[in-house]
Amino acid sequence: MTQVGFVGLGTMGSGVVRRLLDAGHDVTGWNRTRAKAEPLLAAGMAWADSPRAVAEASDIVFTMVTNTQALHAVTGGDDGILAGLADGKVYVDMSTVSPAASRALAEEVAARGARMLDAPVSGSVITLEKGKLSIMVGGDADVVQRVAPVLRAIGPVVTHVGGNGQAVLMKIAVNLNLAVQMLGFSEGVLLAEKGGIERKTAVDVMLRSVIASPMVEYRGPFVLEQPDEAWFDCSMMQKDLQLALELARSEAVPMPTTAATNEMLTAARGMGLGHHDFAVMFQALARMAGADADVRGGSDA
């Protein structure tokens, strides 16, 4: 099996590594906080002392980090991934970052004789656990073909969308819809509740209606009970919306609903709710409407 490296062992990154291990791949990993890696080490993952060491030990090295700044931190410098790349290696970034930064990094990777793909995912922790994650891939077709068997161990749907940076662009286009849909769902539930319909009843009806997209089906219930650990918190989602708005300005694409949703996330963060899953926009909206904002699982929500 392919020697795989993985840098960035957060909630999603750890789930990806588990799928790679279950598929029989040897995985070497690194994370800024080693404690988060302990369950994976117990499951068979090997530890490396730096991102560079991960790249040196791997045929294909993955990253999944929070933002463009974090990506530069794990790829640059003497201990970074770039320093550990060589001819024949492939570097796959699964982060949601600036497309321009991703393309620039691909040029640096090529200068070292390696090849790069951007391969962000669409889905949640639950989607990943069920093996239903979809992956968008940007880069040269021959590299995509080479890496596809490993990617399919992570999720069954692998779509080549274009050259370097194009998959990140596609991911940003997808993610803005998550937040916009969640805000619209929250508005509908709150309107029904203030009109005298129980919140749970409103949620049940909407989840059985034509608006029940896959995202609404798994995240809509968060207006009743927040998860113990945020799947995707407000700050992370707002980072993606701001990337979308920056791209929209450069391409002259009006984005009124994305802009409004971005402001609601700012309001949620201003209320001290930023560390919760972005579905906490419901609580922020409820507070603004003078309604009951209590949701189980969010002690400060």
Query: Domain containing 99 — which CATH number?
Result: 3.40.50.720
User: Are both 18 and 34 inside the same structural domain?
Assistant: yes
Q: Out of 130, 132, 171, 239, which one is annotated catalytic?
A: 171
Total domains in the fold of the chain? 2
Residue 134 is predicted with a pLDDT of: 94
**In the predicted model, what is the mean pLDDT of residues 80-96?**
97
In a domain, 300, yes or no: no
What is the Cα–Cα distance from 197 to 165, expressed in whole angstroms?
Answer: 46
Which of these three, 163, 190, 206, is where a domain ends?
A: 163
Residue 294 is predicted with a pLDDT of: 81
What is the Cα–Cα distance from 112 to 115, expressed in whole angstroms?
Answer: 9
> Which residue is it, tokens 């929250």?
186
**In the predicted model, what is the mean pLDDT of residues 32-46?**
95
Residue 297 is predicted with a pLDDT of: 60
Looking at the DSSP bridge assignments, the partners of residue 62 are 6, 92
Helices (H), 97-140: 99-111, 125-129
Q: Which structural domain range is residue 91 located in?
A: 3-163
Residue 299 is predicted with a pLDDT of: 45
Q: Is the pLDDT of residue 278 over 50?
A: yes
Q: Is the pLDDT of residue 300 over 80?
A: no
User: Are both 100 and 193 inside the same structural domain?
Assistant: no
Sequence-ordered list of residues with C-beta below 8 angstroms from that of 267, at least 6 positions apart, any chain? 284, 288
Nearest to 119 by CA among 97, 89, 104: 97
Residue 157 is predicted with a pLDDT of: 95
pTM above 0.85, yes or no: yes
- State the first-to-last Cα distance of the chain, in angstroms, to the nearest integer: 46
User: Are both 112 and 178 inside the same structural domain?
Assistant: no
Which of these three, 137, 163, 189, is where a domain ends?
A: 163
Residue 301 is predicted with a pLDDT of: 42
User: Are both 145 and 188 inside the same structural domain?
Assistant: no
Residue 229 is predicted with a pLDDT of: 84
Which of these three, 163, 185, 213, is where a domain ends?
A: 163
Q: Is the pLDDT of residue 44 over 90?
A: yes
Q: Is the pLDDT of residue 178 over 60?
A: yes
Q: What is the dihedral of CA 153, 181, 255, 270, to 10 degrees?
A: -100
Sequence-ordered list of residues with C-beta below 8 angstroms from that of 63, at least 6 positions apart, any chain? 6, 7, 8, 51, 71, 74, 75, 81, 91, 92, 93, 94, 95
Give pLDDT tens digits for 101-152: 999 999 999 999 999 999 999 887 888 888 889 999 999 999 999 999 999 9
Q: What counts of helices (H) and strands (E) characterise the chain?
A: 14, 9
Mean pLDDT across the chain:
94
Residue 171 appears among annotated catalytic residues: yes
User: Are both 49 and 192 inside the same structural domain?
Assistant: no
